[in-house]
Structure 1
Amino acid sequence: MSRSTLNVTFAAGFLAVSMAILVARANPATSYESSVYAGTPTITWFGLALALAIAVGTCLTCRGRAQGYGIGLGAITVTAIVSLPVIRNYHYAGMGDALTHLGWTRDIVTGGTAPHELFYPGLHAIASTLHFAGGISIERGLLIGMVVLFVPFVIFVPLVVRDMAGGGLAVGLAAIVSWMVLPVNNIATHMGVHTNSNALFVVPAVVFALVAYLHRRSTIERLPFGVSPFSVLIFLTALALLLIHPQQMFNVVVLIGAISGVQYLARRRFDDHPMVDHPTTYVHTISLGGMFGLWALGNDRFRRAAFGLVSGLLAQDIGGGTTVNQRGSSLTDIGGSLGELFVKMFLAAAIIGLVVGLFILVVWLGRSSLDGEARSFVNYFSLALFPLCGMFLVYFLGTPTMAFRQVGFIYVLLTILAGIALAQFIGGLSNVITTPGANAVAALVLGTCLVLGLMTVFASPLIYSPGQHVTEEMMSGYEDGLDHGAEGVPYAGMGYDPYRYDHGINGLDGSDTLSGASRATGSVNATVFGEGNYSGAYPTGEYYFVVSEWDRTKELEVYDELNYERDTVEGVETEPGTNKVISNDEFSMYAVDDEPRATG
């Protein structure tokens, strides 16, 4: 492709993504959206698709500066997709932990809590800074902070691969795989205000510092006292990761510890091996482990989490198998299946995982064309997967949610290894067919995986999980309801406990727990509620029944009235023992009496 043609192609790609962003910005969300994909204008998706197609093509076929432009175009496009809640002016996004994080940030802004008093204050500090420096709302500050923490992922994954393998094809392929955002599985890791998930996207920055430390050994790069600047970078990026979420920091400690173990064994067995020439990571393992221990072991929240893990391991009815069986049964009831959901949510991840697994086997059998240095890095990361997967098994038996968070970290490493693995396979395929033919096959397969990955970055009815868009009407409805409710009367939701909104609106008053609220809250009994016995659906008899547009969409449309029937929900309007006390387009609150008034 000539230089002038390339310039025109890149201009078209950057123009397409720019126009897509402008169109999305000009069409903000005006009401609750169950899917950001469906809510975003079609022309925006055409522009983003064109930009990604150009980015994928140039990453595969170009090298040098032109490939860099392609990587930049793809990174901007994927970041634009991740930023859609911000671009389309969502008031907020997130019904679970995200609302608690909003409450913590509100506590910091109002002075009720200092950032260092939180277990992981990184995202909250970013949002608070944006609020004070830019005058934006706390809600928007958190959404922007989510995007800020995502950007290192698409920047550092290809940089890590460049240092590990050096080949232009591997770098381009690593960039493409990073755009699939495989660490997000929508079970325990999410694209939103969720610090554990947000931390995953910062991990490649730490890995880059680690690989640079191992790879670049020039004495010119030394600081005073012979300290490597990359050691300093390791500690700084690891500290940032610790402040965003300690669990992912602990995974990094395990990763570096595993590399230390491999180095120790290599030095005992080999006299001449690239690993022997690498500087050791023993000090980093001990220092980072100590940093994590000092921060985490003195925190009550960490101790409760550890106790919960041990309790889960000892309990017979706790574990991932029980959770999977329950969800599989529910999917069948609403016309879905685990097989269908697997294809939508995990097919791309499974393909990449299979490719990486086969590649590691090829490397261990000595059949790859990688040089000794690149093989050493591949062995570092592949052997580190053993303790990381062992942790997954422990979590799976004890606390399944933590297990799927562990999968998110594992897929950060698999994303990095995938660039090298795919480059090896495509290189081998080009020897069987032509290089253009191999690139065409790669573009087709990776393009399909890219679509599958990006269409499940956000929750949506496609995966039986409505988007967690929080509208201004929902927030104001809950705020009015919590402010004006009678003292001592609890609040109950429809399959959703409103205490999270209490966190987001009123803060947590310095508490570091994710459960509980300043008011009594809960969820109505679906079976009793479905019988029309509204007062009997909650233990106190008298309570406030709160329901938002998100609740209606989730229970009546996405779950197809599996738990709550439409007629019963609408029957609250006319029930003699209930009174609608607050209402807007997105929210309603009813006062339910324990003794219905007589009619007549």
Structure 2
Amino acid sequence: MRDRSETTCGGDRTPPGTARRAALTAGFLALGVGVAFAHGQPGHGYEIDVYRSTPIGYWVGVAVGGTIAVAIAAFGRGSRRELDAASLLGTLSVLSIVALPLLRSYRYYGGGDSLTHLGWAREMRAGVIDPDAVLYPGIHTASASLSAVSGIELTHALLLFPLFFFPLVFVLGSTRFVSALSNSASARGIGTMAALCFVPINKVSVHALAHPSSQAILFLPVLLFLLIRYQRTDGTAFPLFDPFGSAFALGCLGLIVIHPQEAMTLLSMLAAMAVVGTIARRYRPTGELASGRSLSVHTILLGVVLAIWVARYDRARDRVAYVIESLLLQTHEPLSETAARGSTLGLLGGSFEELFAKLFAVTLAFCLLAAGLFLASSIRVARSTSDDRDAVVSALAVGLAPPTLGALVIFAADQGDHYFRFLGTIMVPVTLVGTLALVGVVDRLEARARRSGLGVTRTHLRVALVVVLVGFLALQAVAVHQSPYVYKSSQQVTGGELDGFETVFVFHDEETPLLGFRSGSGRYADAHYGSHTAQNDPDFSGYRDAIPGEVFSESLTTHYDSDRYLVLLEGYERIEVDLYQEVRYTREGYRTVETSPAVDRIQDNGELELYRISPPTS
């Protein structure tokens, strides 16, 4: 059947459907050419900024493909196939940015915790440890299995999940959730584009790299979609025997394996929603909140399995005890870390206000949209004038209370920036509800424009929507990876670094401490040996030793009373001297390394240099 939109008003005028298909074809071609540009220029050495290092041809291709996708999806006209193609084009465009480290053939991506996760995956693949020896073995086991079955390098297999699979799952789950709760013809397209903003990735405690907590957060939209489909589907079967009920239960149990902290957060949300649902069925049995199926069985199941799982690990019990102790004793100032970071940011020429705008401007917009719909839905539920969507939105508002309280508790305790993990979890339902609000606002404005006759047409409103969505996507895309734009260096780990550290670990004398910058060389030891092996190796001296900035800059050759190894990575001088403006490690310290007769270079592969520091003899 011919699409009605293809009727023409003039003899030679191009049918709208043909124009859309031509635009989509051009968009896919532009994206394909751009991806070819990026893949054809791999990042061999360390790149402090993945954005600037990626060829301009890639960015042109992504910009063309992404803009076409947003325009067609936001206008909501055309056949279902055309709208789906637009969503696919937009998804591939943005995911290519998230997956740039893979496209650019980085050996690995993610320092800190991500290197430790690489070591765990290596230990699991080698059979050194069992998967259940790790509190959250999900992505490690999956990556090790993928590597063993496909022959893909483990470093790349471990990147596929955080850089492609889980972001794709987040987009699909978010789109299905929004589509299920909105009757608007444009909900699917707008839902996809809003999901592609990846608002929960806040770059503070939620990242696009191997980080199980982040992957668990990106998995939540799928669970929320299964939750509402279970709750709003009529059925008399036992919850665990219902198709959507059983799928939701399995997803909850899978979340425990990905990361139990996010499972605990989901449990708190389910408990709050179950309690409110039970109260509504008791006192307002005819209301919308009472019409949904009970969540009691799922809440109990998740709570029991989660308790059994975490009780087996000392780390989980110790963390809970530490949080409680910190709250009771108040052994730290909650804002001390923030103040210290603010001081450093000021030295770099930035400010909290600027950084907040870069990282959280789009987040704030979705919060405002969601707050409006939360309030409106709750009022309609209270007045018994609500519909099915209002009941779901109001239930989610109730469910957000426990994780919000949890964020405040973690902020008050000595848990670093972990409260941003709670923020990441909170932003999942906020993004979904904010998207529903955005769809509703656009539809209402169009209806009012038709009635008012003020000259504002549907095309004007949809163009404005395209501008807003493109702006949101651009603001989020330029900050999805760490870069100097947000006063951070790239998380790239080069092959020379991994190979160089392997040589260091194999041939070091097992007695001389090994010094590194900031957190030392321990994360690379985790990646090479696996943390279980490295931490229990009595011959590995200096596992976490870092050289203090003042020692490196002022007394490198006189501070220590015995020999030390010092590892310098290619690119660190640019990071410390140029990006961080010598806040900790100075140019003078590097000159001392190069010129002092008490410092000998004993290894250099172009990306890693190993020096031996010999103190003066008395």
TM-score by length of 1: 0.93
1:93 corresponds in structure 2 to: 109
1:402 corresponds in structure 2 to: 418
Question: For residues 412 and 175 of structure 1, what CA distance do their matches in structure 2 show?
Answer: 14
What SS class does the counterpart of residue 573 from structure 1 fall into? helix
Q: CA deviation at 1:294?
A: 1.0
Question: For residues 409 and 269 of structure 2, what CA distance do their matches in structure 1 show?
Answer: 17
1:393 corresponds in structure 2 to: 408
Q: 2:51 corresponds to which letter in structure 1?
A: Y
1:209 corresponds in structure 2 to: 226
CA-to-aligned-CA distance 1:393-420 (integer Å, 9 cap, x gap): 0011111322011111111111111111
**Pair 1:336 & 2:350 matched:** yes
2:541 corresponds in structure 1 to: 519
Identity across the alignment (%): 28
Q: CA deviation at 1:592?
A: 0.9
8 Å contact from structure 1 (residues 352, 418) kept in 2: yes
1:105 corresponds in structure 2 to: 121
1:380 corresponds in structure 2 to: 395
Question: For residues 105 and 333 of structure 2, what CA distance do their matches in structure 1 show?
Answer: 39
Q: 1:547 corresponds to which letter in structure 2?
A: L
Q: 1:549 corresponds to which letter in structure 2?
A: E
8 Å contact from structure 1 (residues 535, 541) kept in 2: no
Change (3 A) 1:459 1:317: farther
Map 1:41-440; keep pairs closer than 5 Å: 41-62=55-76, 64-146=80-162, 147-217=164-234, 227-316=241-330, 318=332, 320-366=334-380, 372-398=387-413, 399-430=415-446, 431-432=448-449, 433-440=456-463
What SS class does the counterpart of residue 29 from structure 1 fall into? coil
Map 1:436-455; keep pairs closer than 5 Å: 436-455=459-478
CA-to-aligned-CA distance 1:542-593 (integer Å, 9 cap, x gap): 2111111243232112101111211222221211211111112211111112
Q: CA deviation at 1:595?
A: 2.4
1:585 corresponds in structure 2 to: 606
Change (3 A) 1:506 1:515: closer
Moved more, 160-169 or 150-159: 160-169
Moved more, 552-561 or 403-412: 552-561
Please tell me the root mean square deviation across aligned C-alpha atoms, in Å.
2.4
Change (3 A) 1:320 1:517: farther
8 Å contact from structure 1 (residues 499, 516) kept in 2: no
Map 1:4-43; keep pairs closer than 5 Å: 4-43=18-57
Q: CA deviation at 1:107?
A: 0.4
Question: For residues 153 and 575 of structure 1, what CA distance do their matches in structure 2 show?
Answer: 53
Q: 1:452 corresponds to which letter in structure 2?
A: L
CA-to-aligned-CA distance 1:415-468 (integer Å, 9 cap, x gap): 111111111222233325432222222222222121111111111111111011
CA-to-aligned-CA distance 1:273-318 (integer Å, 9 cap, x gap): 2332221111111111111111112211211221232233245453
Moved more, 138-147 or 526-535: 526-535
Question: For residues 96 and 592 of structure 1, what CA distance do their matches in structure 2 show?
Answer: 25
1:566 corresponds in structure 2 to: 587
What SS class does the counterpart of residue 595 from structure 2 fall into? coil
What SS class does the counterpart of residue 341 from structure 2 fall into? helix
What SS class does the counterpart of residue 400 from structure 1 fall into? coil
What SS class does the counterpart of residue 395 from structure 2 fall into? helix
1:557 corresponds in structure 2 to: 578
Moved more, 444-453 or 432-441: 432-441
8 Å contact from structure 1 (residues 19, 47) kept in 2: yes
8 Å contact from structure 1 (residues 546, 590) kept in 2: yes
8 Å contact from structure 2 (residues 289, 395) kept in 1: no
CA-to-aligned-CA distance 1:374-397 (integer Å, 9 cap, x gap): 000110111211111111100111
What SS class does the counterpart of residue 524 from structure 1 fall into? coil
Q: 1:348 corresponds to which letter in structure 2?
A: V
8 Å contact from structure 1 (residues 170, 423) kept in 2: yes
**Pair 1:469 & 2:492 matched:** yes
Question: What is the total number of aligned residue pairs between the two structures?
Answer: 591
CA-to-aligned-CA distance 1:45-104 (integer Å, 9 cap, x gap): 111111211221122112544322222221222222111111111000111001101110
8 Å contact from structure 1 (residues 396, 403) kept in 2: yes
Question: For residues 134 and 370 of structure 1, what CA distance do their matches in structure 2 show?
Answer: 55
Change (3 A) 1:320 1:434: farther
Change (3 A) 1:319 1:515: farther
Moved more, 44-53 or 518-527: 518-527
Question: For residues 517 and 152 of structure 1, what CA distance do their matches in structure 2 show?
Answer: 43
What SS class does the counterpart of residue 180 from structure 1 fall into? coil
8 Å contact from structure 2 (residues 208, 214) kept in 1: yes
Q: CA deviation at 1:218?
A: 5.4
Q: 1:13 corresponds to which letter in structure 2?
A: G
Q: CA deviation at 1:518?
A: 4.2
8 Å contact from structure 1 (residues 250, 292) kept in 2: yes
Change (3 A) 1:566 1:509: same
Q: 1:578 corresponds to which letter in structure 2?
A: V
Q: CA deviation at 1:516?
A: 11
TM-score by length of 2: 0.91
**Pair 1:478 & 2:526 matched:** no
Question: For residues 371 and 264 of structure 1, what CA distance do their matches in structure 2 show?
Answer: 18
Question: For residues 403 and 372 of structure 1, what CA distance do their matches in structure 2 show?
Answer: 34
Question: For residues 583 and 96 of structure 1, what CA distance do their matches in structure 2 show?
Answer: 23
Question: For residues 326 and 590 of structure 2, what CA distance do their matches in structure 1 show?
Answer: 36
**Structure 2: gaps spanning 5 or more residues:** 6-15, 450-455
**Structure 1: gaps spanning 5 or more residues:** none
